[in-house]
Amino acid sequence: MNFDNRFTGRATGDLLMGLPSQLALTSLTVVDQSQWMNFYFIQDDFQVTPSLTLNVGLRYEFATPPLEKDDRLVNFDPVSGTPTRPRTFAHWSGETERPDGGAVDSAGNYWTAHYRGGKVVQLSPTGAVLAEYPVPARCPTMCAFGGPDLRTLYVTSATNERPADELARFPCSGGIFTMRVDVPGLPEPHFAG
């Protein structure tokens, strides 16, 4: 994609307007990808004086990283601009074998919630299944380590757009669940701002 000041007189202007002068699709890859997003916004106007009105709003956005059905991984070569060494970390099949959000422990194991699978799966650094842990909800969505020793695994779950009969069978859906684990998780970086 190139921006060469054809439309606005400045390349940066073309970029900000989303007006490329040239666009080429160099590779076509079909992926089964999903992402969970929630966005909320509230706003109100306050008239302070007849000539001054304050417009105040609050916005909350949450989006998981894009998730690929088969957890295929690829390295990106910034010099050539192409993906290199594609490989499959773990292979899943079936409607209930859909990994969602995950976390990594201090041994390099990957813990992933299986959306529609009602479980959390622990994978080795090579992608081998080490253990499966049931969750009292059909749609767990995310794993995160916490607690003072990072040995508590927190698992969130969803109710959004789930059928009523499923929610009746899994009344804990939408809850946050915890379990103790042997290997502590990795600490998350703290927000510096």
Q: Does 91 reside within a domain?
A: no
**157 CB burial (10 A radius; 0-12, 13-18, 19+):** buried
What's residue 67's pLDDT? 65
Q: What is the mean pLDDT of the chain?
A: 82
Q: Does 8 reside within a domain?
A: yes
Q: Does 122 reside within a domain?
A: no
Q: Which is it for the CA torsion 100, 104, 108, 113, positive or negative?
A: negative
Q: What is the pLDDT of residues 22-46, one digit of tens each?
A: 766 555 555 566 777 788 888 888 8
Q: Does 150 reside within a domain?
A: no
Amino acid identity of 20? P
Could you say which of 44, 45, 77, 100 is catalytic?
Answer: 100
Q: Which distant-in-sequence residues (6+ apart) come within 8 Å of 138 by Cβ?
A: 116, 117, 118, 162, 166, 169, 170, 173
Predicted model pTM = 0.58
Q: How many domains does the chain have?
A: 1
For 120-156, give the DSSP string.
EEEE-TTS-EEEEEE-SSS-EEEEEEESTTS-EEEEE
Q: Does 13 reside within a domain?
A: yes
Q: What is the pLDDT of residues 116-162, one digit of tens each?
A: 889 999 999 888 899 999 999 999 999 999 999 999 999 999 888 88
Domain span including residue 26: 1-30
Q: Does 26 reside within a domain?
A: yes
Q: Does 15 reside within a domain?
A: yes
**For this structure, is 100 an active site residue?**
yes
Q: Does 46 reside within a domain?
A: no
Partnered with residue 120 across adjacent β-strands are 113, 133
